[in-house]
Amino acid sequence: MSIEPLSFDIASLLENSGLQWAVIGAATNGAKAYQPKREWVENVLNVLDKQGTKVFFKGNLSWEPWREEFPEVDIKIQEVLEV
């Protein structure tokens, strides 16, 4: 699921979502990035971490520690992509 831009606290909407992967980013307007509130990111990360959801941060998100996690790839899909 793409959560970009993260423009409000959506943590409660993600509970028990069963997501495998989430991409989180800031809002941008040209070169200007509008960062989400720290509390929103923390709340989303808490929910996703409890579920074991992998998290990838877009390059426009100012956050530490950085995350670039990827879900496991189904072998059948990987074999098709390699052909």
pLDDT in 10s for each residue of the chain, 83 residues: 999 999 999 999 999 999 999 999 999 999 899 999 999 999 999 999 999 999 999 999 999 999 999 988 766 666 667 66
Q: Where are the domains of the chain?
A: 2-82
Return all residues near 39 (Cβ < 8 A) that are at least 6 apart: 9
Strand arrangement, sheet containing 21-24: 2-3, 21-24, 54-57
Q: Tell me the C-alpha distance between 79 and 34, whole Å.
A: 40
> Encoding tokens for residue 26?
């800031």
**Per-residue model confidence (pLDDT) at position 72:** 83
